[in-house]
Amino acid sequence: MTSRSDIPVLLRGVSKRFGSTTAVNALDLEVGRAQVLALLGPNGAGKTTTVEMCEGFLRPDAGTIEILGLDPTTDNAALRERIGVMLQGGGGYPAARAAEMLNLVAAYSANPLDPAWLMDTLGLTEAGRTTYRRLSGGQQQRLALACAVVGRPELVFLDEPTAGMDAHARIVVWELIDGLRRDGVTVVLTTHQLTEAEQLADQLVIIDHGVAVARGTPAELMNQGSENQLRFTAPPQLDLTLLVSALPEDYKATERAPGEYLVEGQIDPQVLATVTAWCARLDVLATDMRVDRRSLEDVFLDLTGRELRP
Amino acid sequence: MTNRFAPGTFSPDPRPATVPRMLAAQFGLELKLLLRNGEQLLLTMFIPITLLIGLVLLPIGSSFGTNRVATFVPAIMALAVISTAFTGQAIAVAFDRRYGALKRLGATALPVWGIITGKSLAVVTVVFLQSILLGAIGFALGWRPSAAGLLLGAVIIALGTAVFAALGLLLGGTLKAELVLAIANLLWFVFAGLGALTLGAGMVPPGAEWAARLTPSGALTEALSHAMTLSVDWFGIAVLVAWGAFGSIAALRWFRFT
């Protein structure tokens, strides 16, 4: 197998079954260097299974995985030296203090980040002497993130990096992930938070029932199909026949609710001009005129018929 | 997005530390955790020391011979080995698994054998401290073993530590934490009883004594008692090796990180 070192994360036709459940089904992924890939999907979609196969914790039943040109299962030791991993739910010696745990992981690296600085940055200094067992969920999460990046990895896997964090901590973590990308680190993260995916990801893959149902940049996904609807508000019960005849064939114009109008069809500047001209002829002012941008939530609902929130 | 982190803060440089440095850090924390844990200290230090002093000084008759301290020092040392390598180790490993510590370390540059080595070195260190402490107390109570006996004893203690550590990893690495807590403590009493059966010259039916010598704790107690008086209990050593092989193979087969 040729290794493509310019593609740090490469999955081809990867499947994983647990008993009769197919957790991941024929998944392809590709992440370029210094890119952030977000795997977006509800709980049980197969995000963690995918990430754990990339980390070498699970062996795929079918397909190939190349991480930094290495097979995560057979070249596991070599891979682990180069990646940083934030496991879902963290992990640590229950009786070790937070600072001890981070110092331990830092000691595995020849040139780690300064653990004390990292603790301070993530607001963990005060919890430094608290045992892992007694840390709050959010503190355990932040410590797990610190453990993932302290060794200056070239690729990090972050499983639900901001789950259980308050808004302030979340912003710090977003900046940190943004900083990782800026400094050349490749990031694979899972999330079921739309804003997080939208904020951070260069590439977004929406997973449902182990299948990639959509992929692209956040903007691409949100614009998909959205140019087909123009909405505006105007006085109720306007005569639409003139408008429909002025529009190209196959276009539809309807009054969805009193005063709420919808034009369906390829919306381009010409169509927009036609609509405003029609308003001018009727001497009415159209307000709230907008070409719909769908939210990721809409995209997800359209694709899967499921709510994203667990 | 504005960013509080200066450019270059996270520039990749993922070189692992040297293996000795990783192991030193691993061993250091494991040892600290063992010595800081009150319940562990109760089990590994306080109970064995109290038992030794009590059994030597309390008026319990002359069934154990005129030199009671020579009988009880090896027996209590064997029990101390079981406390640390088996019961304490099993419980610690079970809760490490519960809190995801082993999986966490399994995702770092530390080799998997490094996790086991760190734990083993910590256990060996505690067993060493126990043996010195119990030996010193025994000496104060009149125990006078020969140097060769001590050397032979150290070999048996090392063997016993390895055997019980394997059994401890097997128990702690396969069952749920609460179950391990209960079973490991229960087995400590069982092992203590079985070890005691081998001491009971004349008071214990021969069948029971032989059955006890087939268990790991009976074999260790007997072999260690022999060693301190400069004889080699080949039977006990063979039993220990068999239990050690069973424990290691089963642990390798069934040990789970989570």
pLDDT tens by residue, B127-180: 999 999 999 999 999 999 999 999 999 999 999 999 999 999 999 999 999 999
pLDDT tens per residue, range B203-222: 788 888 889 999 999 999 99
Over pLDDT 70: what percentage of chain B? 97
| pLDDT at residue B59 tops 90 | no
pLDDT, position A295: 66
CB pairs under 8 A between A and B: 134
Q: Give the residue-averaged pLDDT of B86-104.
A: 94
Mutate which of A182, A187, A188, A202 to test chain B, going by most B C-beta atoms within 10 A?
A182
- Report the DSSP pairing between strands A83-86 and A155-159: parallel
Q: Which residues pair with A255 in a beta bridge?
A: A261
Helix, strand, coil tally for chain A in percent (to 5):
35, 25, 35
Mean pLDDT of chain A: 89
State the ipTM, two decimals: 0.89
Q: How far is B68 from chain A (nearest CA, A)?
A: 39
pLDDT, position B60: 75
Element (H, E) at A298: helix A296-304
Structure tokens belonging to residue A99: 């600072």
| pLDDT at residue A110 tops 90 | yes
Cα dihedral value A23, A27, A30, A31, nearest 10:
-20
pLDDT, position A50: 96
pLDDT, position A2: 45
Element (H, E) at A18: strand A9-18
Q: Do B100 and A89 touch (CB under 8 A)?
A: yes
Between CA A14 and CA B63 the distance in angstroms is 70
Which pTM was predicted?
0.84
pLDDT tens per residue, range A137-171: 999 999 999 999 999 999 999 999 998 888 889 99
Between CA B164 and CA B44 the distance in angstroms is 14
Closest by CA position to A157, among listed A239, A287, A235, A52? A52
Positive or negative, the CA dihedral A172, A175, A176, A177 is: positive
With CA atoms as reference, the chain A residue closest to B3 would be: A175
Structure tokens belonging to residue A87: 């496991």
Q: Does B2 touch chain A (CB under 8 A)?
A: yes
pLDDT, position B204: 81
pLDDT, position A1: 43
What are the angstrom distances between the C-alpha of A133 and each of A94, A143, B133, B258?
5, 12, 32, 16
| pLDDT band for position A4 (cuts 50, 70, 90) | low
Q: List, in sequence order, the alpha helices (H) in chain B.
A: 19-36, 38-41, 47-57, 68-81, 89-98, 101-105, 112-140, 147-172, 177-197, 206-213, 216-228, 234-254
pLDDT, position A192: 83
Task: Put residue A109 in one of left, alpha, beta given phi > 0 → left and psi -120 to 50 → alpha.
Answer: beta
